[in-house]
């Protein structure tokens, strides 16, 4: 008997009516002859109440206890959904991460899944029950509860699907699929029927946070089909899989954007002092993620190294650079704010030269300055002034015929 995993986020269970709708949908899927697992994120109301209570007690709670609290939020939601399923005439059981058999490492707030033991899930399948799992949590080798951070419930859903050899994961979201661009800023964006794991991974890493990169990586590793679909409207979603058919020969298949990018520039008096390894080792050791990197080494000009970071890490980056100035040997550091990153993504770019040239030509024609560039086999990213971000996204969407 085949099985599926259904994942729902907090907004999908925000009201009793929405929770009852999920219950009916799960019972309907089970009625098709499928074993059903639901992975659930916590209700926002529960999360806000418990987090506010904790904030009254401490400005910096111990991470272990934060994990216990975060796990409890999802467990309460999973119990409520199980009650709803039972009231709709189905059979259900709610399980915490440790009851499910999700084993993790010991990194609190950002743990990684090491294994999923399936015996208990199969036992409940045999009893005709829908298994409702509290997402983004597990237990380490010391029997401490751990949580997974951003994208944890999505990652849980894919990991469980791989463990039970599910035929697919249905990710129910606030959107009805994955579009060629964000419809909120590109009105002519269209929904894609299929997208490859690699394309989705690039889009997710570049700002299209429909599904977390961790979950996409896991789906690719175990070749688990994932359908991104609406939690409110019963329409066809977007299928993520290894290889996809090109839609009308689209080479570029998506546009992503990310605001609040900052460019940091470090200058040296001589080339001998400019060490890429040293500066990025120091930044990495302090947990600072660097994106686009540009090194300028020109005769008779002092060398510089520029790199982009997210706004949230700006203050920490300046602190690290200032405290490490002597050991790194740079003479000055400068920064530029008010930037954004706009990217084009498509697996067809591998075999179609000239895509980057078209991108730069169109941006130039639009009068949009390109500050930095980064490329891979299936994407080209540019850093532009933030006030030009939406205009750039729309222009590139038109340039590569994504409205057709």
- 249 found inside a domain: no
Question: Tens of pLDDT along the chain (404 residues)?
Answer: 899 999 999 889 999 999 999 999 999 999 999 999 999 999 988 889 999 999 999 988 999 999 999 999 999 999 999 999 999 999 999 999 999 999 999 999 999 999 999 999 999 999 999 999 999 999 999 999 999 998 999 999 999 999 999 999 999 998 899 999 988 889 999 999 999 999 999 888 887 778 889 999 999 999 999 999 998 888 899 999 987 765 555 789 999 999 999 999 998 888 777 778 889 999 999 889 898 998 877 766 788 999 999 898 999 999 999 998 888 888 888 999 999 999 999 988 877 889 999 999 999 999 999 999 999 889 999 999 999 999 999 999 999 988 76
Secondary structure (DSSP) of 280-320 = HHHHHHTT-----EEEEEETTEEEEEEEEEEGGGHHHHHHH
Total domain count for the chain? 2
- 203 found inside a domain: no
Instruction: Report the CATH number at residue 53.
Output: 3.40.1160.10
- 231 found inside a domain: no
Q: For residues 372 and 376, what is the distance between their CA atoms, to the nearest angstrom?
A: 14
Distance spanning both ends of the chain, measured CA to CA? 40
- 83 found inside a domain: yes
Q: Do 22 and 165 sit in the same domain of this protein? A: yes
Count of residues for the chain? 404
Instruction: Report the CATH number at residue 264.
Output: 3.30.2130.10
Q: Do 150 and 263 sit in the same domain of this protein? A: no
Mark which of 144, 173, 202 sits at the end of a domain: 173
What pTM did the predictor assign?
A: 0.85
Q: Do 28 and 164 sit in the same domain of this protein? A: yes
Q: Do 21 and 149 sit in the same domain of this protein? A: yes
- 167 found inside a domain: yes
Q: Do 166 and 26 sit in the same domain of this protein? A: yes
Mark which of 152, 173, 194 sits at the end of a domain: 173
Residue 66's domain comprises 3-173
Looking up tokens 């040296």, which residue turns up?
A: 268
Contact criterion met (CB below 8 Å) for 36 and 26: yes
Mark which of 173, 190, 210 sits at the end of a domain: 173
Q: Do 166 and 32 sit in the same domain of this protein? A: yes
């Amino acid at each position: 008997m085949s099985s599926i995993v259904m994942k729902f986020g907090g907004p999908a269970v925000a009201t009793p009516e929405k929770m009852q709708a999920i219950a009916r949908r799960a019972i309907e899927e089970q009625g098709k002859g499928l074993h059903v697992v639901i992975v659930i994120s916590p209700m926002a109301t529960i999360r806000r109440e418990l987090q506010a209570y904790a904030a009254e007690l401490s400005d910096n709670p111990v991470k272990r206890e934060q994990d216990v609290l975060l796990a409890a939020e999802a467990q309460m939601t999973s119990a409520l959904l199980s009650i709803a399923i039972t009231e709709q005439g189905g059979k259900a059981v709610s399980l915490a991460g440790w009851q499910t058999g999700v084993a993790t490492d010991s990194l609190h707030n950002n743990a990684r899944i090491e294994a999923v033991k399936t015996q208990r899930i199969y036992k409940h399948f045999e009893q005709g029950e829908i298994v409702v799992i509290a997402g983004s949590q597990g237990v380490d080798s010391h029997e401490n509860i751990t949580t997974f951070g951003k994208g944890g419930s999505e990652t849980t859903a894919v990991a469980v699907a791989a463990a039970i050899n599910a035929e697919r994961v249905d990710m129910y979201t606030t959107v009805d699929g994955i579009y060629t661009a964000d419809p909120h800023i590109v009105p002519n964006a269209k929904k894609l029927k299929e997208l490859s794991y690699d394309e989705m991974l690039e889009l997710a890493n570049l700002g299209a946070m429909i599904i977390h990169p961790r979950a996409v990586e896991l789906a690719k590793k175990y070749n688990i089909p994932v359908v991104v679909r609406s939690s409110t409207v019963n329409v066809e979603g977007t299928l993520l899989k290894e290889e996809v058919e090109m839609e009308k020969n689209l080479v570029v298949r998506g546009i992503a954007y990310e605001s609040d990018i900052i460019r940091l520039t470090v200058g040296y008096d001589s080339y001998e002092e400019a060490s890429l390894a040293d500066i990025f080792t120091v930044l990495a050791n302090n947990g600072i993620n660097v994106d686009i990197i540009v090194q300028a080494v020109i005769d008779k000009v002092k060398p510089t190294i520029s790199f982009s970071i997210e706004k949230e890490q700006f203050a920490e980056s300046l602190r690290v650079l200032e405290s490490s100035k002597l050991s790194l040997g740079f003479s000055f550091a400068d920064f530029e704010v008010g930037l954004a990153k706009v990217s084009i993504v498509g697996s067809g770019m591998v075999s179609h030269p000239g895509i980057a040239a078209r991108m730069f030509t169109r941006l130039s024609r639009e009068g949009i300055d390109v500050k930095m560039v980064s490329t891979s086999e299936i994407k080209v990213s540019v850093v532009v002034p933030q006030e030009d971000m939406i205009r750039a996204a729309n222009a590139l969407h038109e340039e590569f015929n994504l409205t057709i």
